[in-house]
A and B are shown apart, each in its own frame.
Chain A
Amino acid sequence: KAGVTQTPRYLIKTRGQQVTLSCSPISGHRSVSWYQQTPGQGLQFLFEYFSETQRNKGNFPGRFSGRQFSNSRSEMNVSTLELGDSALYLCASSLSGQVYTDTQYFGPGTRLTVL
């Protein structure tokens, strides 16, 4: 079974631009979560989608948004990029999104650099 895939793997943008990152979960998984990883703040939860609905959201500004499609693939969008948005963005999928009982499988991440 193929793992979680994220595209692109690397991205360079300039301040003020917007970016869209994509995540394809493991086949059969309906939940997709997104995390931001930076050296200063560590791993922080962005949001979680299940069956095309956002169920949980972390403490990030409205510039960060996401969506999930009927095939469970998910995208996250960051508008008006800031230097501080430079990070590794990780996507994780699980069967039902119940963090306590499901195992989350992580993709390799998208490395975003904002210049």
Chain B
Amino acid sequence: AQSVTQPDIHITVSEGASLELRCNYSYGATPYLFWYVQSPGQGLQLLLKYFSGDTLVQGIKGFEAEFKRSQSSFNLRKPSVHWSDAAEYFCAVGVNNDMRFGAGTRLTVKP
């Protein structure tokens, strides 16, 4: 079945530590891949997207993501987390011109 999976419901990291959020997808072809962030009481903001080309994608706020076709993964990374990064993160796939979202990973940042 077609799906987007974010295995981690909740992750806690210390401020300044590195971060990796996992995303796996299950679709027939290479889909269009996105990462969004949602702060409490806010809508979603696009962090980055991948369509083709270089498999390492740079986004806003210091985030990057790497597409690995062999693993059907599109993991989000940040070298040093800031307290303001605490939010919910959604991986999404573009399919038939609509978006399919993962269940989200809530990030807590410890001081």
Contact = CB atoms under 8 A, between A and B. Distances in A.
Interface of A: 4, 33, 35, 42-45, 48, 55-56, 58, 90, 92, 97-101, 103-109
Contact of A104 (B46, B90, B103): B46
B83 interface: no
Given A42-B103, A104-B99, A99 B43 contact: no
A107 B100 CA distance: 18
A43 B46 contact: no
A109 to B, nearest CB: 6
Given A45-B98, A92-B44, 7 more contacts: A33-B99, A45-B100, A48-B98, A55-B97, A92-B43, A106-B44, A107-B43
Contacts, number: 55
Interface of B: 32, 36, 41-46, 49, 51, 90, 92, 94, 96-104
Contact of A90 (B32, B44, B103): B44
Nearest to B4: A42
Contacts of A42: 101-104
A101 B97 CA distance: 10
Q: Is the interface of B mostly helix, strand, loop or mixed?
A: strand
A108 B32 contact: no
Contacts of B46: 103-105
A47 B46 CA distance: 19
B41 A108 contact: yes
B97 A108 contact: no
Contacts of A103: 46, 49
A109 B43 contact: yes
A31 to B, nearest CB: 10
> Most chain-B Cβ atoms within 10 A of its Cβ — which of A35, A43, A44, A48?
A43
A99 B103 CA distance: 19
A108 B32 CA distance: 24
Nearest to B98: A45
Contacts of B49: 103
A42 to B, nearest CB: 5
Contact of A99 (B36, B41, B97): B97
B66 to A, nearest CB: 19
